[in-house]
Structure 1
Amino acid sequence: MVSTAPAGYALVTGASSGIGAAIAREYAQRGVPLILTARRVDKLEQLAAELRGKVQVEVIPADLSDPKAPEILAAEIQRRGLPVRILVNNAGYGVPGRYLTKDWPTHAQFLQVMVGAASELTWRLLPAIRASGHGRILNVASFAALVPGADGQTLYAAVKAYLVRFSESLALENLDRGVHVTALCPGFTWSEFHDVTGTREMMSKLPKWAWLETDAVAKAGIDGVERGKVIVVPGRVYRLLRFLAKHLPDSLVLGLMGRNSKKIRKVD
Protein backbone atom coordinates (compact mmCIF):
# COMPACT_ATOMS: atom_id res chain seq x y z
CA MET A 1 0.00 0.00 0.00
CA VAL A 2 1.28 3.47 -0.85
CA SER A 3 0.65 5.84 2.03
CA THR A 4 -1.44 8.93 1.27
CA ALA A 5 -1.12 10.15 4.86
CA PRO A 6 0.98 13.21 5.69
CA ALA A 7 4.65 12.35 6.15
CA GLY A 8 5.70 11.15 9.58
CA TYR A 9 5.40 8.16 11.87
CA ALA A 10 2.90 7.37 14.59
CA LEU A 11 4.59 6.25 17.80
CA VAL A 12 2.28 3.96 19.78
CA THR A 13 3.28 3.03 23.32
CA GLY A 14 1.88 -0.12 24.88
CA ALA A 15 1.33 -1.44 21.36
CA SER A 16 1.70 -5.13 22.20
CA SER A 17 -2.00 -5.75 22.88
CA GLY A 18 -5.42 -4.29 23.57
CA ILE A 19 -6.26 -0.73 22.61
CA GLY A 20 -2.65 0.03 21.66
CA ALA A 21 -2.52 -2.80 19.12
CA ALA A 22 -5.94 -1.78 17.77
CA ILE A 23 -4.76 1.82 17.32
CA ALA A 24 -1.68 0.58 15.46
CA ARG A 25 -3.86 -1.52 13.15
CA GLU A 26 -6.19 1.41 12.49
CA TYR A 27 -3.31 3.72 11.61
CA ALA A 28 -1.86 1.04 9.33
CA GLN A 29 -5.22 0.85 7.54
CA ARG A 30 -4.93 4.61 6.99
CA GLY A 31 -1.44 4.30 5.54
CA VAL A 32 0.45 5.82 8.48
CA PRO A 33 3.91 4.30 9.16
CA LEU A 34 4.41 3.09 12.71
CA ILE A 35 6.87 2.95 15.57
CA LEU A 36 5.72 0.32 18.05
CA THR A 37 6.98 0.15 21.60
CA ALA A 38 6.20 -1.97 24.66
CA ARG A 39 8.01 -4.38 26.96
CA ARG A 40 7.02 -7.62 25.21
CA VAL A 41 9.24 -7.91 22.15
CA ASP A 42 7.59 -11.09 20.86
CA LYS A 43 4.16 -9.47 20.79
CA LEU A 44 5.53 -6.37 19.08
CA GLU A 45 7.26 -8.42 16.40
CA GLN A 46 4.08 -10.40 15.75
CA LEU A 47 2.10 -7.22 15.27
CA ALA A 48 4.84 -5.68 13.13
CA ALA A 49 4.89 -8.74 10.86
CA GLU A 50 1.11 -8.46 10.47
CA LEU A 51 1.23 -4.79 9.51
CA ARG A 52 4.35 -4.54 7.35
CA GLY A 53 2.38 -5.48 4.26
CA LYS A 54 0.51 -2.19 4.64
CA VAL A 55 3.02 0.31 6.02
CA GLN A 56 6.59 0.61 7.23
CA VAL A 57 6.86 -0.53 10.86
CA GLU A 58 9.73 0.01 13.29
CA VAL A 59 9.94 -1.88 16.59
CA ILE A 60 11.73 -0.29 19.55
CA PRO A 61 11.18 -2.20 22.80
CA ALA A 62 11.04 -0.12 25.99
CA ASP A 63 10.02 -0.62 29.60
CA LEU A 64 8.44 2.71 30.49
CA SER A 65 8.53 1.90 34.20
CA ASP A 66 12.24 2.73 33.95
CA PRO A 67 12.62 6.51 34.44
CA LYS A 68 15.41 6.53 31.82
CA ALA A 69 13.26 4.82 29.16
CA PRO A 70 11.58 7.90 27.60
CA GLU A 71 14.93 9.61 26.98
CA ILE A 72 16.46 6.40 25.56
CA LEU A 73 13.42 5.78 23.35
CA ALA A 74 13.44 9.34 21.99
CA ALA A 75 17.19 9.12 21.32
CA GLU A 76 16.78 5.84 19.41
CA ILE A 77 14.00 7.34 17.30
CA GLN A 78 16.29 10.24 16.45
CA ARG A 79 19.22 7.91 15.73
CA ARG A 80 17.11 5.98 13.22
CA GLY A 81 16.01 9.21 11.59
CA LEU A 82 12.30 8.60 12.10
CA PRO A 83 10.16 11.77 12.02
CA VAL A 84 7.34 11.47 14.55
CA ARG A 85 4.11 13.25 13.58
CA ILE A 86 1.73 11.37 15.87
CA LEU A 87 2.24 10.32 19.49
CA VAL A 88 -0.14 7.84 21.11
CA ASN A 89 0.41 7.64 24.87
CA ASN A 90 -1.37 4.36 25.48
CA ALA A 91 0.94 2.34 27.76
CA GLY A 92 -0.71 1.57 31.05
CA TYR A 93 -2.14 -0.96 33.46
CA GLY A 94 -4.07 -1.17 36.71
CA VAL A 95 -3.02 -1.94 40.27
CA PRO A 96 -5.90 -3.82 41.93
CA GLY A 97 -6.79 -3.26 45.56
CA ARG A 98 -7.02 -0.36 47.95
CA TYR A 99 -4.22 2.17 48.31
CA LEU A 100 -2.58 0.72 51.44
CA THR A 101 -2.64 -2.88 50.22
CA LYS A 102 0.40 -2.20 47.98
CA ASP A 103 3.87 -0.99 48.88
CA TRP A 104 5.10 2.39 47.71
CA PRO A 105 7.50 1.06 45.02
CA THR A 106 4.48 -0.55 43.31
CA HIS A 107 2.66 2.79 43.25
CA ALA A 108 5.80 4.69 42.20
CA GLN A 109 6.32 2.36 39.23
CA PHE A 110 2.67 2.80 38.25
CA LEU A 111 2.97 6.59 38.39
CA GLN A 112 6.13 6.48 36.30
CA VAL A 113 4.39 4.59 33.49
CA MET A 114 1.09 6.43 33.59
CA VAL A 115 2.22 9.99 34.30
CA GLY A 116 5.99 10.31 34.09
CA ALA A 117 6.57 8.47 30.82
CA ALA A 118 3.59 10.00 29.02
CA SER A 119 4.58 13.50 30.11
CA GLU A 120 8.25 13.12 29.26
CA LEU A 121 7.70 11.47 25.88
CA THR A 122 5.34 14.30 24.98
CA TRP A 123 7.92 16.89 26.03
CA ARG A 124 10.71 15.21 24.08
CA LEU A 125 8.70 14.63 20.88
CA LEU A 126 6.52 17.72 20.83
CA PRO A 127 9.05 19.89 18.91
CA ALA A 128 9.01 17.43 15.99
CA ILE A 129 5.23 17.06 16.19
CA ARG A 130 4.82 20.84 16.08
CA ALA A 131 7.31 21.15 13.23
CA SER A 132 5.24 18.80 11.06
CA GLY A 133 2.47 21.39 10.89
CA HIS A 134 -0.23 18.72 11.26
CA GLY A 135 0.79 16.79 14.36
CA ARG A 136 -1.42 14.70 16.58
CA ILE A 137 -1.23 13.57 20.22
CA LEU A 138 -3.67 10.92 21.41
CA ASN A 139 -3.63 10.26 25.15
CA VAL A 140 -5.52 7.11 26.13
CA ALA A 141 -7.28 8.06 29.35
CA SER A 142 -10.45 6.39 30.66
CA PHE A 143 -14.10 7.01 31.42
CA ALA A 144 -12.93 6.68 35.03
CA ALA A 145 -11.39 10.14 34.63
CA LEU A 146 -14.82 11.70 34.08
CA VAL A 147 -16.72 10.37 37.11
CA PRO A 148 -16.00 10.30 40.85
CA GLY A 149 -13.34 7.83 41.89
CA ALA A 150 -14.29 4.31 42.88
CA ASP A 151 -13.22 2.32 45.92
CA GLY A 152 -10.10 0.36 44.92
CA GLN A 153 -9.29 2.75 42.07
CA THR A 154 -7.31 5.32 44.03
CA LEU A 155 -4.49 6.13 41.62
CA TYR A 156 -5.96 4.79 38.37
CA ALA A 157 -8.79 7.33 38.12
CA ALA A 158 -6.44 10.09 39.29
CA VAL A 159 -3.80 9.51 36.62
CA LYS A 160 -6.43 9.21 33.91
CA ALA A 161 -7.91 12.53 35.06
CA TYR A 162 -4.41 13.97 34.80
CA LEU A 163 -4.23 12.85 31.16
CA VAL A 164 -7.52 14.61 30.43
CA ARG A 165 -6.37 17.92 31.90
CA PHE A 166 -2.92 17.50 30.31
CA SER A 167 -4.59 17.01 26.94
CA GLU A 168 -6.82 20.05 27.34
CA SER A 169 -3.90 22.36 28.10
CA LEU A 170 -1.71 20.91 25.35
CA ALA A 171 -4.55 21.35 22.86
CA LEU A 172 -4.83 25.05 23.70
CA GLU A 173 -1.07 25.60 23.70
CA ASN A 174 -0.49 23.99 20.31
CA LEU A 175 -3.59 24.82 18.31
CA ASP A 176 -1.80 27.57 16.40
CA ARG A 177 0.78 25.03 15.22
CA GLY A 178 -1.74 22.67 13.67
CA VAL A 179 -1.41 20.13 16.49
CA HIS A 180 -4.56 18.34 17.65
CA VAL A 181 -4.51 16.80 21.12
CA THR A 182 -7.17 14.37 22.32
CA ALA A 183 -7.91 12.45 25.50
CA LEU A 184 -9.60 9.16 24.61
CA CYS A 185 -11.88 8.08 27.47
CA PRO A 186 -13.27 4.57 26.87
CA GLY A 187 -15.30 2.60 29.36
CA PHE A 188 -14.88 -1.13 29.88
CA THR A 189 -13.10 -2.54 26.84
CA TRP A 190 -12.38 -6.15 25.89
CA SER A 191 -8.60 -6.60 26.30
CA GLU A 192 -5.93 -8.23 28.47
CA PHE A 193 -6.30 -5.44 31.03
CA HIS A 194 -8.59 -7.36 33.38
CA ASP A 195 -6.56 -10.56 33.05
CA VAL A 196 -3.45 -8.69 34.21
CA THR A 197 -5.27 -7.17 37.19
CA GLY A 198 -6.87 -10.49 38.08
CA THR A 199 -10.43 -9.18 37.77
CA ARG A 200 -11.57 -11.07 34.65
CA GLU A 201 -14.03 -13.31 36.53
CA MET A 202 -15.51 -10.34 38.34
CA MET A 203 -15.76 -8.25 35.18
CA SER A 204 -17.39 -11.05 33.20
CA LYS A 205 -20.52 -10.55 35.29
CA LEU A 206 -21.11 -7.10 33.83
CA PRO A 207 -23.86 -6.80 31.17
CA LYS A 208 -22.85 -6.90 27.51
CA TRP A 209 -23.92 -3.29 26.93
CA ALA A 210 -21.14 -2.14 29.27
CA TRP A 211 -18.39 -3.48 27.00
CA LEU A 212 -16.65 -1.83 24.06
CA GLU A 213 -14.56 -3.47 21.33
CA THR A 214 -10.95 -2.37 20.95
CA ASP A 215 -11.34 -1.72 17.22
CA ALA A 216 -14.27 0.62 17.80
CA VAL A 217 -12.39 2.46 20.55
CA ALA A 218 -9.32 2.88 18.33
CA LYS A 219 -11.36 4.22 15.43
CA ALA A 220 -13.23 6.65 17.69
CA GLY A 221 -9.98 7.97 19.11
CA ILE A 222 -8.27 8.47 15.76
CA ASP A 223 -11.36 10.00 14.15
CA GLY A 224 -11.68 12.30 17.14
CA VAL A 225 -8.10 13.56 17.10
CA GLU A 226 -8.33 14.15 13.35
CA ARG A 227 -11.43 16.28 13.88
CA GLY A 228 -9.75 18.20 16.69
CA LYS A 229 -11.98 16.90 19.49
CA VAL A 230 -10.23 17.31 22.82
CA ILE A 231 -12.22 14.65 24.72
CA VAL A 232 -13.61 11.54 23.04
CA VAL A 233 -15.97 9.17 24.87
CA PRO A 234 -16.71 6.11 22.70
CA GLY A 235 -20.14 4.51 22.90
CA ARG A 236 -23.60 6.02 23.33
CA VAL A 237 -24.06 4.44 26.73
CA TYR A 238 -20.91 6.04 28.11
CA ARG A 239 -21.75 9.42 26.60
CA LEU A 240 -25.11 9.24 28.38
CA LEU A 241 -23.45 8.23 31.64
CA ARG A 242 -21.05 11.15 31.33
CA PHE A 243 -23.96 13.53 30.82
CA LEU A 244 -25.67 12.17 33.92
CA ALA A 245 -22.48 12.35 35.99
CA LYS A 246 -22.05 16.01 35.02
CA HIS A 247 -25.62 17.00 35.90
CA LEU A 248 -26.46 14.89 38.95
CA PRO A 249 -25.29 16.07 42.42
CA ASP A 250 -21.74 14.96 43.22
CA SER A 251 -22.85 13.37 46.47
CA LEU A 252 -25.37 11.19 44.63
CA VAL A 253 -22.88 10.03 41.99
CA LEU A 254 -20.22 9.36 44.63
CA GLY A 255 -22.73 7.33 46.62
CA LEU A 256 -23.59 5.27 43.54
CA MET A 257 -19.90 4.63 42.91
CA GLY A 258 -19.42 3.56 46.51
CA ARG A 259 -22.31 1.09 46.39
CA ASN A 260 -21.13 -0.47 43.13
CA SER A 261 -17.33 -0.44 43.54
CA LYS A 262 -17.12 -3.99 44.84
CA LYS A 263 -18.83 -5.27 41.70
CA ILE A 264 -16.05 -3.99 39.44
CA ARG A 265 -12.91 -3.58 41.58
CA LYS A 266 -10.84 -5.53 44.05
CA VAL A 267 -11.12 -3.47 47.20
CA ASP A 268 -9.28 -5.63 49.73
Structure 2
Amino acid sequence: MDYRGKWALVTGASAGIGQEFVRQLAESGANVVMVARREDRLKELSALLQSHGTRTVPLAADLSEGDAPEKIVAFLQGQGIDIDILVNNAGFGLPGKYVSTRWEEQEKYLQLMVSTYAELSHRLLTGMQERGYGRVINVASVAGLVPPAAGHTLYGPSKSFLVSFSQALAAEYDGTDINVSALCPGFTYTEFHDVNDTREQLNQMPDFMMMQVGETVTGALKAVEKAHTVYVPGLQYKFLVWLTGILPRAWAERIVKGSGKNYRDAH
Protein backbone atom coordinates (compact mmCIF):
# COMPACT_ATOMS: atom_id res chain seq x y z
CA MET A 1 0.00 0.00 0.00
CA ASP A 2 1.43 3.32 -1.09
CA TYR A 3 -0.44 6.33 0.27
CA ARG A 4 2.22 8.95 -0.45
CA GLY A 5 0.61 12.34 -0.98
CA LYS A 6 -2.73 11.20 0.47
CA TRP A 7 -4.42 12.64 3.55
CA ALA A 8 -6.14 10.37 6.06
CA LEU A 9 -8.47 11.20 8.94
CA VAL A 10 -8.58 8.73 11.83
CA THR A 11 -11.01 9.12 14.72
CA GLY A 12 -10.36 7.53 18.09
CA ALA A 13 -6.69 7.90 17.19
CA SER A 14 -5.15 8.16 20.65
CA ALA A 15 -5.06 4.43 21.45
CA GLY A 16 -5.79 0.89 20.32
CA ILE A 17 -7.02 0.22 16.81
CA GLY A 18 -7.14 3.92 15.94
CA GLN A 19 -3.54 4.49 16.99
CA GLU A 20 -2.45 1.48 14.95
CA PHE A 21 -4.26 2.84 11.89
CA VAL A 22 -2.37 6.12 12.31
CA ARG A 23 0.95 4.29 12.58
CA GLN A 24 0.42 2.04 9.55
CA LEU A 25 -0.98 4.83 7.39
CA ALA A 26 2.01 7.04 8.22
CA GLU A 27 4.37 4.17 7.44
CA SER A 28 2.63 3.85 4.06
CA GLY A 29 3.31 7.51 3.29
CA ALA A 30 0.02 9.13 4.24
CA ASN A 31 -0.36 12.39 6.09
CA VAL A 32 -2.77 11.86 8.97
CA VAL A 33 -5.22 14.05 10.87
CA MET A 34 -5.61 12.36 14.25
CA VAL A 35 -8.86 12.99 16.12
CA ALA A 36 -9.53 12.08 19.76
CA ARG A 37 -10.42 13.72 23.05
CA ARG A 38 -6.96 13.32 24.61
CA GLU A 39 -4.81 15.94 22.92
CA ASP A 40 -1.75 15.02 25.00
CA ARG A 41 -1.85 11.46 23.69
CA LEU A 42 -2.21 12.71 20.12
CA LYS A 43 0.83 14.98 20.48
CA GLU A 44 2.88 12.12 21.89
CA LEU A 45 1.90 9.93 18.94
CA SER A 46 2.70 12.70 16.48
CA ALA A 47 6.19 13.06 17.96
CA LEU A 48 6.78 9.30 17.70
CA LEU A 49 5.89 9.28 14.00
CA GLN A 50 8.09 12.18 12.90
CA SER A 51 10.68 9.79 11.49
CA HIS A 52 8.28 8.72 8.73
CA GLY A 53 8.57 12.10 7.04
CA THR A 54 4.82 12.60 6.85
CA ARG A 55 2.58 15.14 8.56
CA THR A 56 0.55 14.12 11.57
CA VAL A 57 -1.93 16.72 12.74
CA PRO A 58 -3.49 16.34 16.24
CA LEU A 59 -7.08 17.54 16.54
CA ALA A 60 -8.82 17.30 19.92
CA ALA A 61 -12.57 16.75 19.62
CA ASP A 62 -15.35 14.99 21.51
CA LEU A 63 -17.22 13.06 18.84
CA SER A 64 -20.17 12.42 21.14
CA GLU A 65 -21.07 16.10 20.70
CA GLY A 66 -23.46 16.78 17.85
CA ASP A 67 -21.47 19.62 16.26
CA ALA A 68 -18.14 17.76 16.25
CA PRO A 69 -18.23 16.59 12.59
CA GLU A 70 -19.04 20.09 11.35
CA LYS A 71 -16.17 21.55 13.40
CA ILE A 72 -13.75 18.91 12.13
CA VAL A 73 -14.64 19.63 8.50
CA ALA A 74 -14.33 23.39 9.12
CA PHE A 75 -10.85 22.78 10.56
CA LEU A 76 -9.84 20.76 7.49
CA GLN A 77 -11.09 23.44 5.15
CA GLY A 78 -9.20 26.08 7.12
CA GLN A 79 -6.00 24.03 6.78
CA GLY A 80 -6.58 23.32 3.08
CA ILE A 81 -6.64 19.58 3.71
CA ASP A 82 -8.60 17.25 1.41
CA ILE A 83 -9.23 13.89 3.03
CA ASP A 84 -8.66 10.84 0.81
CA ILE A 85 -8.92 8.14 3.50
CA LEU A 86 -11.45 8.18 6.33
CA VAL A 87 -11.20 5.75 9.23
CA ASN A 88 -14.27 5.99 11.47
CA ASN A 89 -13.03 4.29 14.60
CA ALA A 90 -13.94 6.29 17.72
CA GLY A 91 -16.13 4.53 20.23
CA PHE A 92 -16.83 3.52 23.79
CA GLY A 93 -18.96 1.00 25.63
CA LEU A 94 -21.70 1.19 28.23
CA PRO A 95 -21.56 -1.96 30.37
CA GLY A 96 -24.66 -3.16 32.15
CA LYS A 97 -28.35 -3.41 31.42
CA TYR A 98 -30.02 -0.79 29.26
CA VAL A 99 -32.12 0.80 32.01
CA SER A 100 -29.26 0.76 34.53
CA THR A 101 -27.69 3.64 32.58
CA ARG A 102 -28.93 7.18 32.12
CA TRP A 103 -30.57 8.00 28.77
CA GLU A 104 -28.12 10.90 28.36
CA GLU A 105 -25.30 8.34 28.23
CA GLN A 106 -27.10 6.24 25.62
CA GLU A 107 -27.88 9.36 23.58
CA LYS A 108 -24.19 10.31 23.50
CA TYR A 109 -23.37 6.74 22.56
CA LEU A 110 -25.71 6.84 19.55
CA GLN A 111 -24.37 10.23 18.54
CA LEU A 112 -20.83 8.91 18.50
CA MET A 113 -21.36 5.40 17.17
CA VAL A 114 -24.01 6.11 14.53
CA SER A 115 -24.58 9.78 13.73
CA THR A 116 -20.93 10.89 13.74
CA TYR A 117 -19.86 8.00 11.50
CA ALA A 118 -22.65 8.80 9.08
CA GLU A 119 -22.10 12.57 9.08
CA LEU A 120 -18.33 12.48 8.65
CA SER A 121 -18.76 10.03 5.78
CA HIS A 122 -21.41 12.25 4.18
CA ARG A 123 -19.30 15.41 4.46
CA LEU A 124 -16.01 13.88 3.30
CA LEU A 125 -17.30 11.59 0.55
CA THR A 126 -18.37 14.67 -1.40
CA GLY A 127 -14.75 15.68 -1.91
CA MET A 128 -13.63 12.12 -2.59
CA GLN A 129 -16.29 11.87 -5.28
CA GLU A 130 -15.14 15.12 -6.90
CA ARG A 131 -11.50 13.96 -6.94
CA GLY A 132 -12.36 10.43 -8.06
CA TYR A 133 -10.56 8.64 -5.22
CA GLY A 134 -11.47 7.63 -1.70
CA ARG A 135 -11.20 4.99 0.99
CA VAL A 136 -13.61 4.69 3.93
CA ILE A 137 -13.20 2.16 6.74
CA ASN A 138 -15.94 1.95 9.34
CA VAL A 139 -14.74 0.04 12.39
CA ALA A 140 -17.67 -2.20 13.27
CA SER A 141 -17.42 -5.56 15.06
CA VAL A 142 -18.22 -9.25 14.86
CA ALA A 143 -20.97 -8.22 17.27
CA GLY A 144 -22.69 -6.56 14.33
CA LEU A 145 -22.84 -9.88 12.46
CA VAL A 146 -24.12 -12.23 15.15
CA PRO A 147 -27.09 -12.14 17.55
CA PRO A 148 -26.50 -9.67 20.41
CA ALA A 149 -25.69 -10.71 23.95
CA ALA A 150 -26.97 -9.14 27.15
CA GLY A 151 -25.19 -6.02 28.33
CA HIS A 152 -23.72 -3.18 26.27
CA THR A 153 -27.23 -3.10 24.82
CA LEU A 154 -26.72 -0.73 21.90
CA TYR A 155 -23.26 -2.02 20.98
CA GLY A 156 -24.37 -4.84 18.68
CA PRO A 157 -27.18 -2.82 17.04
CA SER A 158 -24.86 0.12 16.35
CA LYS A 159 -22.26 -2.18 14.82
CA SER A 160 -24.94 -3.83 12.67
CA PHE A 161 -25.82 -0.37 11.39
CA LEU A 162 -22.18 0.27 10.46
CA VAL A 163 -21.98 -3.00 8.52
CA SER A 164 -25.17 -2.26 6.58
CA PHE A 165 -24.16 1.39 6.11
CA SER A 166 -20.81 0.33 4.64
CA GLN A 167 -22.48 -2.16 2.30
CA ALA A 168 -24.90 0.50 1.07
CA LEU A 169 -22.11 3.01 0.40
CA ALA A 170 -20.00 0.35 -1.31
CA ALA A 171 -22.91 -0.43 -3.61
CA GLU A 172 -23.36 3.26 -4.45
CA TYR A 173 -19.69 3.62 -5.42
CA ASP A 174 -19.33 0.28 -7.18
CA GLY A 175 -17.24 0.68 -10.33
CA THR A 176 -15.41 3.77 -9.03
CA ASP A 177 -12.12 4.22 -7.18
CA ILE A 178 -13.96 4.89 -3.94
CA ASN A 179 -13.91 1.81 -1.72
CA VAL A 180 -15.89 1.40 1.49
CA SER A 181 -15.28 -1.39 3.98
CA ALA A 182 -16.55 -2.41 7.42
CA LEU A 183 -13.87 -3.82 9.70
CA CYS A 184 -15.47 -6.41 12.00
CA PRO A 185 -12.91 -7.58 14.56
CA GLY A 186 -13.55 -9.91 17.42
CA PHE A 187 -11.92 -9.47 20.82
CA THR A 188 -8.67 -7.57 20.32
CA TYR A 189 -5.89 -6.65 22.75
CA THR A 190 -6.38 -2.88 23.31
CA GLU A 191 -7.02 -0.58 26.25
CA PHE A 192 -10.70 -0.30 25.23
CA HIS A 193 -11.58 -2.91 27.84
CA ASP A 194 -9.64 -1.10 30.56
CA VAL A 195 -11.47 2.16 29.86
CA ASN A 196 -14.81 0.34 29.99
CA ASP A 197 -13.85 -1.63 33.11
CA THR A 198 -14.37 -5.00 31.43
CA ARG A 199 -10.78 -6.28 31.58
CA GLU A 200 -11.59 -8.83 34.30
CA GLN A 201 -14.27 -10.48 32.17
CA LEU A 202 -12.05 -10.40 29.11
CA ASN A 203 -9.23 -12.16 30.95
CA GLN A 204 -11.47 -15.23 31.00
CA MET A 205 -11.35 -15.38 27.20
CA PRO A 206 -9.22 -18.21 25.74
CA ASP A 207 -6.00 -16.89 24.21
CA PHE A 208 -6.85 -18.20 20.75
CA MET A 209 -9.88 -15.88 20.65
CA MET A 210 -7.80 -12.75 21.17
CA MET A 211 -6.62 -10.84 18.09
CA GLN A 212 -3.52 -8.66 17.81
CA VAL A 213 -4.14 -5.06 16.81
CA GLY A 214 -1.35 -4.94 14.20
CA GLU A 215 -2.61 -7.81 12.09
CA THR A 216 -6.18 -6.57 12.42
CA VAL A 217 -5.34 -3.15 10.97
CA THR A 218 -3.06 -4.55 8.26
CA GLY A 219 -5.85 -6.84 7.14
CA ALA A 220 -8.36 -3.98 7.13
CA LEU A 221 -6.17 -1.80 4.91
CA LYS A 222 -5.64 -4.68 2.48
CA ALA A 223 -9.37 -5.40 2.48
CA VAL A 224 -10.39 -1.85 1.60
CA GLU A 225 -7.83 -1.77 -1.22
CA LYS A 226 -9.37 -4.97 -2.60
CA ALA A 227 -12.86 -3.46 -2.21
CA HIS A 228 -13.91 -6.14 0.28
CA THR A 229 -17.03 -4.64 1.81
CA VAL A 230 -17.04 -6.62 5.07
CA TYR A 231 -13.75 -7.80 6.56
CA VAL A 232 -13.63 -10.19 9.53
CA PRO A 233 -10.06 -10.83 10.73
CA GLY A 234 -9.13 -14.23 12.13
CA LEU A 235 -10.25 -17.70 11.08
CA GLN A 236 -11.90 -18.26 14.45
CA TYR A 237 -14.19 -15.27 13.96
CA LYS A 238 -14.84 -16.05 10.31
CA PHE A 239 -16.02 -19.49 11.49
CA LEU A 240 -18.18 -17.96 14.23
CA VAL A 241 -19.91 -15.63 11.77
CA TRP A 242 -20.41 -18.48 9.30
CA LEU A 243 -21.77 -20.81 11.99
CA THR A 244 -24.28 -18.35 13.43
CA GLY A 245 -25.34 -17.53 9.89
CA ILE A 246 -26.27 -21.07 8.90
CA LEU A 247 -27.83 -22.15 12.20
CA PRO A 248 -31.49 -21.50 12.98
CA ARG A 249 -31.74 -18.08 14.60
CA ALA A 250 -32.90 -19.47 17.95
CA TRP A 251 -29.89 -21.79 18.12
CA ALA A 252 -27.48 -18.97 17.28
CA GLU A 253 -29.06 -16.80 19.96
CA ARG A 254 -28.57 -19.54 22.57
CA ILE A 255 -24.90 -19.96 21.62
CA VAL A 256 -24.23 -16.22 21.94
CA LYS A 257 -26.23 -16.01 25.16
CA GLY A 258 -24.29 -18.88 26.72
CA SER A 259 -20.86 -17.54 25.83
CA GLY A 260 -21.52 -13.83 26.16
CA LYS A 261 -22.47 -13.95 29.83
CA ASN A 262 -18.89 -14.92 30.66
CA TYR A 263 -17.34 -11.88 29.02
CA ARG A 264 -19.89 -9.06 29.22
CA ASP A 265 -21.29 -7.11 32.13
CA ALA A 266 -25.08 -7.46 32.01
CA HIS A 267 -25.78 -6.20 35.52
TM-score greater than 0.5 by the shorter chain: yes
CA distance in 2, matches of 1:5, 1:160: 28
Do 2:4 and 2:28's aligned partners in 1 also have CA atoms closer than 8 Å?
A: no
Structure 1 gap segments, 5+ residues each: none
**Greater mean deviation of Cα atoms: 4-13 or 67-76:** 4-13
- 2:107 is equivalent to residue 111 of structure 1: no
Aligned to 1:229: 228
Aligned to 1:177: 176
Deviation at 1:16?
0.2
Aligned to 2:143: 144
1:2-40 deviation digits (Å, cap 9, x = unpaired):
x95353301000000000001111111111111100000
Question: Cα distance 1:179–1:6, how it changes in 2: closer, same or farther (>3 A)?
Answer: farther
1:181-201 deviation digits (Å, cap 9, x = unpaired):
000000000011111111101
Aligned to 1:212: 211
Question: In the TM superposition, what are the counterparts of 1:1-268 in structure 2 within 5 Å?
Answer: 5=3, 7-54=5-52, 55-268=54-267
CA distance in 1, matches of 2:5, 2:33: 13
* TM-score between both structures, scaled by the size of structure 2: 0.97
1:180-222 deviation digits (Å, cap 9, x = unpaired):
0000000000011111111101111111001001111110111
- AA aligned to 2:17 is I
- AA aligned to 2:6 is G
CA distance in 2, matches of 1:71, 1:52: 28
Moved over 4 A (4+): none
SS at match of 1:131: helix
CA distance in 1, matches of 2:131, 2:88: 18
- AA aligned to 1:134 is Y
CA distance in 2, matches of 1:7, 1:28: 11
1:65-104 deviation digits (Å, cap 9, x = unpaired):
1101110010001100011000000000111011111010
Do 2:138 and 2:183's aligned partners in 1 also have CA atoms closer than 8 Å?
A: yes
- AA aligned to 1:17 is A
SS at match of 1:177: coil
Do 2:5 and 2:29's aligned partners in 1 also have CA atoms closer than 8 Å?
A: no
CA distance in 2, matches of 1:266, 1:157: 14
Question: Cα distance 1:4–1:18, how it changes in 2: closer, same or farther (>3 A)?
Answer: closer
Do 1:115 and 1:159's aligned partners in 2 also have CA atoms closer than 8 Å?
A: yes
- AA aligned to 1:170 is L
Overall identity of the aligned pairs, in %: 39
Please report the RMSD computed on the Cα atoms of aligned residues, expressed in angstroms.
Answer: 1.2
CA distance in 2, matches of 1:153, 1:102: 10
- AA aligned to 1:226 is E
